[in-house]
Chains A and B, each alone.
Chain A
Amino acid sequence: MTSASFNRWFGRGWLLAGFAFLYLPILALVVYSFNDSPIPNVWRGFTLKWYAGLADDREILSGLWLSLRVAFFTACGSVVLGTLAAVSLVKYRRFRGRTVFSGMVTAPLVMPEVVVGLSLLLMLVSVQRATQGAFGWGFPERGMLTIWLGHLLLGMAYATVVVQARLQDLNPQLEEAALDLGARPLQVFLLVTLPMIAQSLASAWLLTFTISLDDVVLSAFLSGPGSTTMPLVIFSRARLGVSPSVNAVAALIVAVVAVGVLIASYLIARAERRRQQELAEANRA
């Protein structure tokens, strides 16, 4: 075997092993969700009873409903705030406190969630106690609103990174041309910039939606009585051990996400191709 072909096969083998490592747990979750036996890793035959059981699982269902609502509002808020932050960082090269700003924007990406969750909670509790003392009515109560505030912090960081990368790849001449032709800055943003970054906004929305739907730590700190998100339910069950009902939830989530991501990326890629075509035609004309 020549060294070049050895390299090629070694490379393919490594990629294959890496993907096996990444996908093995997902495969195992799905397979064992159909297992008739409640004992983990002992296969006793095919069943759908764990899926049927989910329909009556009030804890999971109400958690899912809350999670979906929080995720929806998180995704919307994150895209708006993330776009503003990305525009600030890309368009305005210098303003007072820019270094602090760019540091604060990306810090939630790596900052341990226990720290972010705890400090936000302590702040919100302090505010609640202060308003309780001043008006006799504490605000905000721990619940959906506070969970949303926490998720938004994380989502905004991800959305900023996604939108920022796209903004930097844009050709600034297009915006300059629009300005030269007399468009106001807001018009330029709405009519020129926004259509060009639209797919990155869509991916940022989807990404922040899934991140919010999955979050355990921030939700644990920020949730109140009666506001238990689905990951919190799953986490408390998973701590006790392997449970087939969790496997069934997992398999459903995997299926929904896989289909959703595939459809979304197909649509995004198609829109992008069409835009490139239009751009090419416009350049030819």
Chain B
Amino acid sequence: MPRLIAHLMPKVSGRHAVIGVPYGWLLLFFLFPFLILVKISVSEMETVNFKDLVTFKDGLLQLTLKLSNYVFITEDPLYIKTYLSSLKYAAAATVLCLVIGYPFAYFMARARTTAQPALLMMVMLPFWTSFLLRVYAWKGLLSENGWAADLIIGTGFDQLLHAAGMIPAPGKLMHTPFSLVLGMAYTYMPFMILPLYGNLAKMDLRLLEAATDLGATAWVAFWKVTVPLSKAGIIAGSMLVFIPCVGELVIPELLGGPETLMIGRVLWDEFFSNNDWPMAASVAVVMILVIIVPLAVFSKYQAEVQEARR
């Protein structure tokens, strides 16, 4: 009897099970939902159900695709403006992260080796405390009489921000492009610092000595040796900040204002306020198309790093 059962069982090796379970899981709950998303984005909304794309009528197989959502997105200037401004704010946050994070990671990697684990731990710790609450905290910090607001206005930095067009008037910091970009840069800072640190800490310092021996100043050696060698870390960190920022919802909702258009909020409103599911799905599909190039760069880089570690 046991032999019979063993015979009936499909020949599954351990290898198949190990790969098959997570693979099947991702196909079912990650890839398949995207196909459904694409399907619904071209579906007609009936009262409760979506109309089937393929219907059989009068002996003819009919395929009904409703492309009006996409036509609407590409023709309505508001949508185009929103996509562009999402990209703009995400790029600004990425640059800000890089400007603050690169020197930070650099000095961390050059700190005493005994101090480095503690420094790393201190970068990770805010990441463990609630992201939502830390974003919410900036609401208080940047509003009237908040600590950060006092500091920025006290040093006259708000004049500079106003001149750069980041705030509508000196002294008004909350619900502006500035508060939005600051909030995103703050939230995603560890994602920039950690890959950069990993990269810079592994760097062979003898290369810098060689550059100095050959007559390079510290400044030249930094730009010609350190920065090019940390290219992988810069790309990884930037993608880890940029891509999620494009579709960010919570930060624009809490820190953004009426004029800081972000596509994540538009999708949210289409879904929760207008209840237009096909339209929300179309917005999402276009969002994927917008981020597909950075996504491909990230995933290619990620694979390379994993292979290189071996």
Contacts and interface: CB of A to CB of B under 8 A. Distances in A.
A15 B107 contact: yes
A105 B110 contact: no
Interface string B2-25: 000000000000110011011101
B281 A122 contact: yes
Nearest to A209: B128
A152 B29 CA distance: 10
A81 B277 CA distance: 31
Contacts of B145: 41-42
Interface residues of B, number: 87
B26 A105 contact: yes
A207 B110 CA distance: 27
A119 B136 contact: no
Contacts of A40: 139-140, 143, 146
A21 B104 CA distance: 12
Contacts of A197: none
A81 B29 CA distance: 13
Contacts of A152: 29
B146 to A, nearest CB: 5
Interface stretch (B67-75, B162-170, B199-207, B241-249): B241-249
Interface stretch (B54-62, B152-160, B227-235, B301-309): B301-309
A105 to B, nearest CB: 7
A46 to B, nearest CB: 17
Contacts of A113: 244, 247, 249
A145 interface: no
Contacts of A21: 100, 186, 189
B287 A115 contact: yes
A105 B27 CA distance: 10
Interface in A15-65: 15, 18-19, 21-26, 28-29, 32, 40-42
B83 interface: no
Main secondary structure of the interface of B (DSSP, over half): helix
A254 B132 CA distance: 12
A168 B309 contact: yes
Given A25-B186, A238-B136, A239-B253, A106 B302 contact: yes
B36 A126 contact: yes
Given A41-B144, A250-B133, A122 B104 contact: no
B32 A88 contact: no
A21 B281 CA distance: 37
Q: Which of B27, B121, B134, B239 has the most CB of A within 10 A?
A: B134
B174 to A, nearest CB: 10
B133 A104 contact: no
A22 B126 contact: yes
Q: Which of B23, B253, B271, B303 has the most CB of A within 10 A?
A: B23
Nearest to B302: A106
Nearest to A256: B129
Nearest to B150: A41
B140 A92 contact: no
A32 B243 CA distance: 33
Q: Which of B136, B254, B268 has the most CB of A within 10 A?
A: B136
Given A41-B144, A253-B133, A15 B111 contact: yes
B119 interface: yes
B218 interface: yes
A41 B243 CA distance: 34
A216 B130 CA distance: 11
B300 to A, nearest CB: 9
Q: Which of B19, B122, B298, B309 has the most CB of A within 10 A?
A: B19
A89 interface: yes
Interface stretch (A173-181, A257-265, A275-283): A257-265
Interface in B277-293: 277, 280-281, 284, 287-288, 291
A3 interface: yes
A246 interface: yes
B136 A246 contact: yes
Contact of A115 (B21, B129, B137, B288): B288
A261 B108 CA distance: 21
A131 interface: no
A138 to B, nearest CB: 12
A156 interface: yes
Contacts of A84: 18-19, 21-22
8 contacts: A15-B104, A92-B19, A101-B26, A102-B306, A104-B31, A112-B287, A113-B247, A261-B125
Given A21-B100, A110-B243, 17 more contacts: A11-B106, A15-B104, A15-B111, A22-B123, A22-B189, A28-B147, A29-B140, A88-B23, A95-B19, A107-B295, A114-B264, A114-B284, A119-B33, A119-B34, A168-B309, A231-B132, A235-B253
Interface of A: 3, 7, 11-12, 14-15, 18-19, 21-26, 28-29, 32, 40-42, 81-82, 84-85, 87-89, 91-92, 95, 97, 99, 101-116, 118-120, 122-123, 126, 129, 149, 152-153, 156, 160, 164-165, 168, 185-186, 207, 210, 213-214, 216-217, 220-221, 231, 234-235, 238-239, 241-242, 246, 249-250, 253-254, 257-258, 261, 265
Interface of B: 14-15, 18-19, 21-23, 25-27, 29-34, 36-37, 40, 49, 100, 103-104, 106-108, 110-111, 119, 121-123, 125-126, 128-134, 136-141, 143-148, 186, 189, 218, 239-240, 243-244, 246-250, 253-254, 264, 267-268, 271-272, 277, 280-281, 284, 287-288, 291, 295, 298-299, 302-303, 306, 309-310
